[in-house]
Structure 1
Amino acid sequence: MTLSLIKPPEDTQDTPASPASSTLTERRRARYQRIVRAALQDPRVRTAGRLTVRHASYTLGGARILTRRAWDSRTTARHERMMRAAEAAGNEELVRQWEQRAYAYRFARHKRRMELLQMALNAPKAVGSAAATGAGALLLLGIMLAWYNHNLADILTPTRAVIEFVGWVAFLASVIWAPLLYSLPVLALTGAWAVGRHRQIAPTWALPTDPENRDVVPDEGAIIKALGNLGIAPLNKAIKEGWQPRWVSPTTRSGNGWHTQLQLPLGVTVEMVNGKKRVLAHNLLRKPVEVWPTEPPKQPGVLDLWVADQGSLSGAIPPWPLLTEGTTDYFKGVPVAVSQRGEPIIGKLMASNWMVGGIMGSGKTSIVVALLLGALLDPLVVAEVYCMAYNVDFDPLKPRLRTLVKGDDDEDIEAALKALRNLRDEVTARGKLLEDLGGDATKVTRELALKDPRMRPKVVVFDECHELFMHKEYGKEAAELAIKVMKKARKVAITLVWVTVSPTADSLPRDVTRNTSHRVAFAVGDHVANDGLLGSGRHKAGITATTLIPGEDVGTAVTVGFTAKPFEVIRSHYVARDPEKGVDEVTPVVQRALGLLDGTEPTDEPTFEPADPLADVAAVLGQEARMLTQEVLHRLAERRPDAYREWGPVDLKRALEPYGAEQYKSAGKSVVARDRVLDALAERLAEADAEPYDEEGAA
């Protein structure tokens, strides 16, 4: 009876799920998905996720960097890496240098290991000797103490005192050891996190996006962060894939700004970065004129970045050095501006021709007037100005000028053409005079100019020169004459200065630009005008004045040919003249120049001597083969306190590096070599005496 009431067990495995249970499961799954989606969309959850990923990436990336640094310091990995880079660049000499350094490192490492092994072998003997000596000293001290106190028990007093001291040290170590042991991992992780945070090693989407977190100091982390937000696809891909930048030159202080060099990843060019210059400046909290990304001529694939301090290129500049006193030497140059780093820029006159351009109101006249006034303070100089427009910019200089022609009428244009014809004849005559002199006279010098009035230096300015070159009747002949004069004038002390507001292929003959040594571009409208002034391809290379803002960056210009660097951003000196405000700084300088010319002012020796770091370093080295860098800086400061008083090792390196004569390490000390400096001087002299070459390589 009981057995009949028991039901057999149901087979639940083969029974299909009911529609009701299936619907319930789907509803639960949909609910869970909504909850997860809502959680992921919650700003607090997303912020927490970014924080977690960012700081975890900082820690892991910092640990990787520290591990790599430790590995590099203990092995020749760095040497091998540099050798591969030099081999890829085809620099065999640099490969040999790194091979020698690797050999020296391995030899020194082997020597240290042998010394440690020998020390380990000698350790028992040394420990035993030290213990015996210490015990003997303590025993002797105890005997002396017992003798003094007349108590034999004092013999062991020093030994007991040492034992008690060791016990206290052991007690303190036992108290400190456990917390220190537990804190070591925390300290290690904190150090790794700090390194990773400094380098901003984290996915771009996890980095902080608050603008307030951006620092005004463009260190390595800020630069990588700024580059990662330019919108350059190959660069973003490289960063996402974990690209670790190689800093050719870490961020260092350079004048009134910061300088760094960074090797870009595959598929990313400096031209791409230049195309985003405005965004890059914004990311670095700078104005476009304060950020200059370029590619070094001898380092392809490297981003050379100079970032000015905020507002350093918009404040007041120092007054013109010759405003109240001083005389000049045409053959040594005159002050015309200060560089982007705050250094004085000397305008070279001998063996030079100038091209100055920019839109109206950008400051062209300021640098031309400073150049002319400086030249006129040399009583040997003859100056002429042909201004093919009606303005009064050069009127205050008229008493000291030999010729001043103003206007754009045909007769004024013809006067400028006649001046070029006369210059053509004059360069030929001066060349013949040099040939007749024979001997070592290959170019005009100050001594020759003093002896023969026919060799007096001459500066000729053609303002608004596009009116001359674009003239229907005189333009073609003017272009031909200008090119002939410029190619021959460099050795006979004749300097031509071309000024224009319209730097195009029609207004400036191409060969005139090619044979110009000093090119100055104030604010220009487009890349065509920029390359018309500075040379073809300059805009793509990042050497561009298109980022200068008319009316705001007045007096600021991009220049080529002033220094050994590929370009310089300068701010020209302004010698003010505003009759409406009662300001006239030009006329007193002209009166002083007239006095020098008439003999009422002393003219024995020029008083303005521009600093020449290369020559000055050679002078302070004397006959020393090598000299410590600090000693060189000390002697430079004694020689020219006004120029070198504030100099440091970085300033010296920046001055000598373009010539390959910078300081280097010898026996662990930074030194300057006399041979390098003299070779650089000889090379510079040879370049000055060589024939000029245009951009295509033709003489």
Structure 2
Amino acid sequence: MTETYPNPEQDAVAGATVLAFPNRAADTVGDDLDVPGWLNQPQPDNATAATVDKSAASKAALPVQAIRNARTTYRQAKTVLRWLLAHRATKFGARQAAFILAGVRIGLRRAWESRTTTTHQAQIRAAAAAGDHESALEWEARASKFRTERHARRMELLRLPLHIAAGIAHGIIAAVLVLSVIGIAMWWKTDHIGAVTTPFTATFNVLCAIGAFVKATWRPTLEALPVLATAAAWAAGRNARDLPAWLSAAEIGDGSTPQVVPDEGAILEALRNLNLGPMNKAFKAGWRPQWVSPTTRSGNGYHTQLRLPQGVTVEMIGTGKTKKVLAHNLLRAPIEVWPTEIAGKEGILDLWVADSGSLTAKVPPYPLIEDAGATVDYFDKRGVPVAISQRGEIVRAPLMAKNYMVGGIMGTGKSSFTRNLLCGAMQDPLVDIGVYVMAFNADYDLMQPRLSVLVKGDEDEQALAALNELRWLKDEVTRRGKLLEKYGETAVTRKLAMRDKRLRPLVRVFDECHELFEHKKHGEEAADLAIKVLKKARKCAMTLVFVTVSPTANSIPKDVTRNTSNRVAFAVGDHVANDGLLGTGKHKAGITATTLNPATDIGTALTIGFSPNAFELVRMFFISADDGNDQVTPLVTRAMKGLDKAGLAPGDTAEQVDGDQARDLLDDVAAAMGTEALVKSSVVISRLADAHPSEYEGWSQQRLGEELKQHGVIPRKTKDGTMHVDRRQVDAALADRAETTGEAAEDDSEDGEI
């Protein structure tokens, strides 16, 4: 029988791999090999090839299917993992664990820093980077002192076991002696020798009780220590809020707006993604930033100072679309990010980033409304409250030696600022307030009882009235200068203003002042007068406030802006208006109100001159003037009461409070002494000066004695060695004078009858 086997060469052509079997001879059939007979049956060549092809294809498909199954399993596992990581419960648990780990890290870092000079070295590096070599040397000295003290502590620890052993031995000896003395005393008292051991027994029982208490509590205490340590670590980590980004996506605790701390890493990442060519070039070249001031908490935000690379200016970052991108990268609104350049620190980015949403929170009530007993002093450098800063602090507007330029688009809050300023200033009864509005509006009508003058209108008549006021102010500066020379003073003080009405502080508001400065007939003269008054009025207790809706080069003379100490810019339309209010170059330096939205940032303004900082972003207090909620009238009423109490009236700047009237010394002394029989001469002088400062300010006891001696009153020295005025002598002098006056009157009447 002839057997047919697959041919390897033919099957290779068919594309299949076939294992060749060895040829078998015909005489091998029926040998000892136990092979089924069907295997030895002849098969067609094509059927054999097809069977082998299917088997090989199946074997080749196994790795592909395995890869597909692995990929499917990976995608499913990845989806499940993402779902788990995004789930609130997972984040909550991971956040708590992260809090604990962060707390442990903080504790370890604090322990390390307290035992090493890490903090000192960091301060030395920061001082060296800032070029402050004096501070660097100071911190180096502190580090050396710390090392010396640390070595002394460690040496003391080595001796501590000996000290403890000696202390225990001394304590035992002292206790035995004391207990022995007590026992002997008890023996002597009770006449029983067994009483000697009573103190020792009682002490032993107390020690046993303490031991029992410790035995009962040490185990729970040890078990509670890990729990307490974990709770402490959790609290420290939660306060630090130093979490991974995927856990920090929501605000901790209340689920509100996301908060991202703008630390050094976040700021660098934000700068890296500004799409600025020079900045990108610097990063590619391996630029390493120099932090002049690391990120620190500053009010309701964070403050950082960073030296920029070459080719990158603050103007590139702090203006236009780039600032919006920077704010976006820091997850803030543009109004919450303020990159500026400080004068004298060119090339350094001064960055302040507010907490997200902090500049839209509700502004607290006006402080002078909340505190009905609050007083205001025009001469106080702190000034009157007008707004809240971006740091959440009260911003005060000083009055003495200050002038104001206020501007912005209509309806952005200019009236709120002037209302806050005037409602505060009028609480000082010495202040005389006048308002000139070059338009017909009712912003100041409720204040009219406290104003010395209120002019409203945009016609020539009102413009002339404002011009005449500026003319009078120019002459008033000269008059006040002469008065200061007369009194030997360099500037008006409160005491001087109380002494002479002619030196009462003046506050003058020129609202819509662009109408005055652009007036065809009076504008040029008004601008010239305003500049002259601003330059000379600083020490004369005169405060000028200019308010405008159109701060351009033509509407506001540049010298007016240059000579105003305090500037307030609400939302403006362009950099021309911004620099017209805040000063030339402010927009370029990043101090710009063009980023304020007139629709949403009502009452928010950029200010200069209110603090040592380059600028302050403030939100005005709101004093309602609506009929249903009139908060202005109560403030005006309170101011009028203070005015009446001081014996003054709006516009009352007559010659002097009491200096032009001849004073009667005896009457004044009698009033000063009251019902007291004997008063110190120094006290009498003090009371006279308080009541009539223009007459008695600066009097000495010698002068008082000489003046009283002319009326027959002689101050005498008492046992304590001080000079006193006797009320009986004053009354006698008054009686003698009355009698003499009466006799003279009778003589005059008799002469008249003849």
TM-score range, shorter chain: 0.5 to 0.7
Q: Is 1:24 aligned with 2:62?
A: yes
For residue 411 of structure 2, give the secondary structure of its aligned residue in structure 1.
coil
Q: Which residue of 1 aligns with 2:4?
A: none
**Counterpart among 44, 62, 72 of residue 83 in structure 2:** 44
Task: Provide the rounded CA distance (Å) in 1 between the counterparts of 2:251 and 2:628.
Answer: 47
The AA in structure 2 aligned to 1:337 is V
Q: Which residue of 1 aligns with 2:508?
A: 460
**Counterpart among 581, 584, 587 of residue 533 in structure 1:** 581
Q: Which residue of 2 aligns with 1:576?
A: 625
Please say which of residues 536-545 and 29-38 is displaced more in the overlay.
536-545
Q: Is 1:349 aligned with 2:387?
A: no
Deviation at 1:251, TM superposition (A): 5.5
Please say which of residues 332-341 and 156-165 is displaced more in the overlay.
156-165
The gaps in structure 1 that reach 5 residues or longer are 8-16, 606-699
Q: 1:330, 1:381 within 8 Å by CA — same for their partners in 2?
A: no
Deviation at 1:84, TM superposition (A): 1.4
Closer, same or farther: CA 544–215 of 1 in aligned 2, 3 Å = farther
Q: Which residue of 1 aligns with 2:52?
A: none
Task: Provide the rounded CA distance (Å) in 1 between the counterparts of 2:267 and 2:143.
Answer: 39
Deviation at 1:461, TM superposition (A): 2.3
For residue 158 of structure 2, give the secondary structure of its aligned residue in structure 1.
helix
Encode CA deviations 1:317-337: one digit per residue, 9 max, x unaligned: 355589899796578787453
For residue 151 of structure 2, give the secondary structure of its aligned residue in structure 1.
helix
Task: Provide the rounded CA distance (Å) in 2 between the counterparts of 1:322 and 1:131.
Answer: 65
Q: 1:362, 1:554 within 8 Å by CA — same for their partners in 2?
A: yes
Q: Which residue of 2 aligns with 1:516?
A: 564
Matches of residues 54-69 of structure 1 in structure 2 within 5 Å?
62-69=103-110
Task: Provide the rounded CA distance (Å) in 1 between the counterparts of 2:520 and 2:601.
Answer: 35
Q: 2:404, 2:545 within 8 Å by CA — same for their partners in 1?
A: yes
**Counterpart among 362, 366, 380 of residue 313 in structure 1:** 362
Q: 1:373, 1:589 within 8 Å by CA — same for their partners in 2?
A: no
Closer, same or farther: CA 475–23 of 1 in aligned 2, 3 Å = farther
Closer, same or farther: CA 425–65 of 1 in aligned 2, 3 Å = same
Q: Is 1:360 aligned with 2:401?
A: no
For residue 648 of structure 2, give the secondary structure of its aligned residue in structure 1.
helix
Task: Provide the rounded CA distance (Å) in 2 between the counterparts of 1:110 and 1:85.
Answer: 26
Q: Is 1:597 aligned with 2:636?
A: no
Please say which of residues 321-330 and 335-344 is displaced more in the overlay.
321-330
Task: Provide the rounded CA distance (Å) in 2 between the counterparts of 1:319 and 1:50.
Answer: 47
Q: Which residue of 2 aligns with 1:100?
A: 141
Deviation at 1:497, TM superposition (A): 1.4
Please say which of residues 106-115 and 541-550 is displaced more in the overlay.
541-550
Encode CA deviations 1:589-609: one digit per residue, 9 max, x unaligned: 786658722899xx989xxxx
**Counterpart among 488, 491, 502 of residue 539 in structure 2:** 491
Q: Which residue of 1 aligns with 2:679?
A: none
Please say which of residues 163-172 and 527-536 is displaced more in the overlay.
163-172
Closer, same or farther: CA 303–217 of 1 in aligned 2, 3 Å = farther
Q: Which residue of 2 aligns with 1:623?
A: none
Encode CA deviations 1:13-38: one digit per residue, 9 max, x unaligned: xxxx9553232112101210121012
For residue 131 of structure 2, give the secondary structure of its aligned residue in structure 1.
coil
Q: CA RMSD in A?
A: 5.9
Deviation at 1:467, TM superposition (A): 1.8
Q: Which residue of 1 aligns with 2:129?
A: 88
Deviation at 1:560, TM superposition (A): 3.1
Deviation at 1:109, TM superposition (A): 1.7
Please say which of residues 442-451 and 315-324 is displaced more in the overlay.
315-324
Q: 1:388, 1:467 within 8 Å by CA — same for their partners in 2?
A: yes
Deviation at 1:119, TM superposition (A): 2.6
Task: Provide the rounded CA distance (Å) in 1 between the counterparts of 2:493 and 2:399.
Answer: 12
Deviation at 1:92, TM superposition (A): 3.0
Pair member with larger Rg: 2
Task: Provide the rounded CA distance (Å) in 2 between the counterparts of 1:117 and 1:582.
Answer: 72
Task: Provide the rounded CA distance (Å) in 2 between the counterparts of 1:543 and 1:350.
Answer: 26
Q: 2:625, 2:632 within 8 Å by CA — same for their partners in 1?
A: yes
Deviation at 1:559, TM superposition (A): 3.5
Encode CA deviations 1:54-87: one digit per residue, 9 max, x unaligned: 7776666554443322211101111111111112
Q: 1:576, 1:586 within 8 Å by CA — same for their partners in 2?
A: no
Please say which of residues 58-67 and 353-362 is displaced more in the overlay.
58-67
Deviation at 1:444, TM superposition (A): 3.6
Task: Provide the rounded CA distance (Å) in 2 between the counterparts of 1:406 and 1:152.
Answer: 103
Deviation at 1:462, TM superposition (A): 1.7
Encode CA deviations 1:446-489: one digit per residue, 9 max, x unaligned: 56556777655443322111223334565455434432321122
Q: 1:521, 1:533 within 8 Å by CA — same for their partners in 2?
A: yes
For residue 385 of structure 1, give the secondary structure of its aligned residue in structure 2.
strand
The gaps in structure 2 that reach 5 residues or longer are 1-27, 36-54, 275-279, 284-288, 659-754
Higher relative contact order (CA 8 A, sep 6+): 1
**How many equivalent residue pairs?**
574
Matches of residues 360-399 of structure 1 in structure 2 within 5 Å?
360-369=410-419, 371-372=421-422, 383-394=433-444
The AA in structure 1 aligned to 2:159 is Q
Matches of residues 185-584 of structure 1 in structure 2 within 5 Å?
195-196=236-237, 198-204=239-245, 206-207=246-247, 209-210=249-250, 214=254, 223=261, 232=270, 234=272, 258=300, 261=303, 271=318, 275=324, 304=352, 313-314=362-363, 316-318=365-367, 320=369, 335=384, 337=386, 339-340=388-389, 347-369=397-419, 371-372=421-422, 383-394=433-444, 404-410=454-460, 412-428=462-478, 430-431=480-481, 433=482, 437=486, 440-446=488-494, 455=503, 457-471=505-519, 474-525=522-573, 529-535=577-583, 557-564=605-612, 566-567=615-616, 569-572=618-621, 574=623, 576=625, 578=627
Encode CA deviations 1:248-269: one digit per residue, 9 max, x unaligned: 79769x7xxx566567798898
Task: Provide the rounded CA distance (Å) in 2 between the counterparts of 1:40 and 1:488.
Answer: 76
Q: 1:320, 1:335 within 8 Å by CA — same for their partners in 2?
A: no
For residue 232 of structure 1, give the secondary structure of its aligned residue in structure 2.
helix
Deviation at 1:539, TM superposition (A): 6.4
Q: Which residue of 2 aligns with 1:658?
A: none
Task: Provide the rounded CA distance (Å) in 1 between the counterparts of 2:101 and 2:119.
Answer: 21
Closer, same or farther: CA 482–322 of 1 in aligned 2, 3 Å = farther
Task: Provide the rounded CA distance (Å) in 2 between the counterparts of 1:157 and 1:579.
Answer: 83
TM-score (normalised: structure 1)? 0.62
Encode CA deviations 1:370-423: one digit per residue, 9 max, x unaligned: 544665676765554332222344456667766554333345445544544554
Encode CA deviations 1:595-644: one digit per residue, 9 max, x unaligned: 722899xx989xxxxxxxxxxxxxxxxxxxxxxxxxxxxxxxxxxxxxxx
Closer, same or farther: CA 582–543 of 1 in aligned 2, 3 Å = closer
Deviation at 1:502, TM superposition (A): 2.0
Q: Which residue of 2 aligns with 1:695?
A: none
Identical aligned residues as a percent = 39
For residue 386 of structure 1, give the secondary structure of its aligned residue in structure 2.
strand
Q: 2:363, 2:388 within 8 Å by CA — same for their partners in 1?
A: no
For residue 596 of structure 1, give the secondary structure of its aligned residue in structure 2.
coil
